[in-house]
Amino acid sequence: MVIRNIRVIDPADKTDCIKDVFIKDGRIADPLDPAADNDPDIIDGTGLIAGPGLVDVHVHFRDPGQTHKEDIHTGALSSVAGGFTSVVMMANTDPVIDDPSIVKDVLRRASEEPLHIYTCASVTKGLGGKELCDHKALLEAGAAGFTDDGKPIVDADVLRRAFSGIAKLNVPVSLHEEDPAYISENGVNSGSAAESLGLKGSDRMAEITMVRRDIEIAKETGVILNIQHISCAESVEAVRCAKREYPSIHAEATPHHFTLTDNAVSEFGTLAKMNPPLRKSEDREAIWEGLADGTIDLIATDHAPHSADEKSREFEKAPSGITGLETSFLLAYSTLYKRDIVDLNRLFELMSLNPAKLYGLNAGTLRIGAPADIMIFSPDESTVYETSRSRSSNTPFLGRTFEGKIRYTIAAGRIVYSS
């Protein structure tokens, strides 16, 4: 395959230029290789942008156990429609991914899909926060890292023992940072948003206290720590300060946290219910600043499918979370790039190169010899997000018109999505 006359963005070496991209045997090929241009399929890239395929290290495919919401196959379809060529699944399935046999099973089934799918295993047995898993055995079975996402690890001694062991394995631990002691009802920010629903909600200190605590334990133990779905200005500042002396602290931001504020709860109800909750405009601006200055390393969707029946319950009883794979790049493009918060190289760094680096994945660049994982985007077209390829469509962005359109997703040299 040859992609002709396309604007190429490669954050690995800060490339931003018009050129041809050659693909051979599933990899980016040298244009001087005589076989690279041997009767190829041709994509006219005039007016389009090519970047390395997007990488999402925080998705919930609900498989096994909750496949009425999503399964590996429908999650894969949603991923490629959003420009993603690599994703990392979370471990809060049923049963929890806390045993090597479960790791092997989900990876075997994931290998049949048209993109690269990895999985984390849990830090503690059954996400119970007490008994540590056999992390070495889980890693040997194929786990990419560890997380109890969906639940915080409240016991500091348990976390310290986990960090000490995982540090020796040189893979990341990704943590959901919400102390339940500060939460009356989850999914909505305490203050005016919660009060409008007759609730007390989730105080910002739920996140701030755990972020500060876990940074200190990470520094003590030498673990690679990723703060998931950061939502508070104080948390962003804690990460900023920590990274100056300990570069193995990382943080991710979701598109919903850098796009919406807690006012969205009044408009969208349970479709704007999530953990941690949407915060204030000053928190959103702190996330923008963190994404721009390197404090926040990556963008991750926290793609969290739920059925329409579940989301139609009254606010307190409805589950938290929204889908996000198909709108992630479109939201980042409109909210971050079009407002000059980040340039395109930084955007692909946040959405491809950095998440790949965090998990040690062979992705995130379009250099010669790299896997031919490519997202092709049209800045001059628009997207009306009317239907979802996910099994669920619990998102406040359904029906929205976005500037820009994902035209192709190419994984290992094959077109796996086109529009």
Q: CA torsion, points 19, 23, 27, 29, in degrees to nearest 10?
A: -60
Quote the strand ranges of 148-203, DSSP E: 172-175
* Range 274-284 average pLDDT: 98
- Segment 323-370, tens digit of pLDDT: 999 999 999 999 999 999 999 999 999 999 999 999 999 999 999 999
pLDDT of 390: 98
Asked whether residue 45 falls in the same domain as residue 60, the answer is no
Asked whether residue 227 falls in the same domain as residue 126, the answer is yes
Q: How far is CA 167 from CA 21, 103, 138, 242, in A?
A: 39, 20, 14, 17
pLDDT of 229: 98
Asked whether residue 8 falls in the same domain as residue 109, the answer is no
pLDDT of 112: 98
Domain that holds residue 19: 2-49+369-418
- pLDDT of 119 higher than 60: yes
- Is 82 a member of any domain? yes
- Segment 285-316, tens digit of pLDDT: 999 999 999 999 999 999 999 999 999 999 99
pLDDT band for position 32 (50/70/90)?
confident
Q: How far is CA 239 from CA 39, 175, 189, 284, in A?
A: 51, 13, 21, 15
pLDDT of 37: 57
* Range 204-229 average pLDDT: 98
Asked whether residue 388 falls in the same domain as residue 318, the answer is no
pLDDT of 38: 64
- Is 282 a member of any domain? yes
Asked whether residue 58 falls in the same domain as residue 30, the answer is no
Buried b (16+ CB within 10 A) or exposed e, 100-121: bebbebbbeebeebbbbbbbbb
Helix%, strand%, coil% for the chain, nearest 5: 35, 25, 40
Asked whether residue 347 falls in the same domain as residue 382, the answer is no
Q: What is the CATH number of the domain that holds 156?
A: 3.20.20.140
- Is 77 a member of any domain? yes
pLDDT of 207: 98
- Is 72 a member of any domain? yes
Chain mean pLDDT for the chain: 97
pLDDT of 89: 98
Percent of the chain topping pLDDT 70? 98
Asked whether residue 201 falls in the same domain as residue 274, the answer is yes
- Segment 181-211, tens digit of pLDDT: 999 999 999 999 999 999 999 999 999 999 9
Asked whether residue 43 falls in the same domain as residue 180, the answer is no
pLDDT of 34: 59
- pLDDT of 121 higher than 70: yes
- Is 312 a member of any domain? yes
Lowest mean per-residue pLDDT among 39-43, 197-201, 215-219: 39-43
Looking from the CA of 9 toward its CB, the CA atoms found within 13 Å total 21
Asked whether residue 28 falls in the same domain as residue 64, the answer is no
130 Rama sector, left if φ>0, alpha if ψ -120 to 50, beta otherwise: alpha
C-alpha dihedral sign at 20, 80, 230, 175: negative
Asked whether residue 136 falls in the same domain as residue 25, the answer is no
pLDDT of 31: 85
How many domains are there within the chain?
Answer: 2
Asked whether residue 23 falls in the same domain as residue 148, the answer is no
| Domain finish residue from 339, 359, 379 | 359
Positions marked active-site = 302
Q: What is the CATH number of the domain that holds 394?
A: 2.30.40.10
* Range 315-321 average pLDDT: 98
C-alpha–C-alpha distance, residues 136 and 166, integer Å: 8
- pLDDT of 36 higher than 80: no
* Range 79-85 average pLDDT: 98
| Domain finish residue from 359, 377, 400 | 359
C-alpha–C-alpha distance, residues 233 and 146, integer Å: 26
- Segment 51-67, tens digit of pLDDT: 999 999 999 999 999 99
pLDDT of 148: 98
- Is 364 a member of any domain? no
pLDDT band for position 33 (50/70/90)?
low
Helix axes 100-110, 72-81, angle to 10 degrees: 50
Asked whether residue 44 falls in the same domain as residue 183, the answer is no
* Range 126-138 average pLDDT: 98
pLDDT of 40: 78
pLDDT of 122: 98
- pLDDT of 107 higher than 70: yes
| Domain finish residue from 328, 359, 390 | 359
